[in-house]
């Protein structure tokens, strides 16, 4: 599940040092499109359990990490592989588009 909550303090340990690929949903509670994407992120977390770690990072509460990865618009979903950001998807998108991008990264 996307019950994982990433923060400025745990980001390095949970995302950058992760042995598996990580999808981070950069969001904020006041963001309407973020709320639209949230159920899709939950579904992706279930579908890719064991292959992909999925979590959320509140940009208001964790500005340091959001700034480090140049998150200017939310929602922004960034896929990290081997501690590096390899794909950034900005704005609300359909589930199939997210799945296509995830599959491409997982196949590499």
CB 59, CB 29: distance < 8 Å: no
Q: How far is CA 48 from the centre of its chain?
A: 13
CA distance 86 to 105: 8
Collapsed DSSP state (helix, strand, coil) of residue 74: coil
Write out the catalytic residue numbers. 31, 34
- CA nearest 24: which of 73, 64, 66? 66
Collapsed DSSP state (helix, strand, coil) of residue 104: helix
């Amino acid at each position: 599940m996307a019950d994982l909550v990433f923060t400025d303090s745990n980001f390095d340990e949970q995302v950058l040092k992760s042995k598996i690929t990580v999808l981070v949903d950069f969001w904020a509670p006041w963001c309407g499109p973020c709320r639209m994407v949230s159920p899709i992120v939950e579904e992706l977390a279930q579908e890719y359990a064991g292959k992909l770690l999925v979590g959320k990072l509140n940009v208001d509460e964790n500005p340091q990490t959001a700034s480090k990865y140049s998150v200017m618009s939310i929602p922004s979903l960034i896929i990290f592989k081997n501690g590096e950001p390899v794909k950034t998807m900005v704005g609300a998108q359909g589930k199939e588009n997210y799945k296509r991008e995830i599959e491409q990264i997982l196949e590499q």
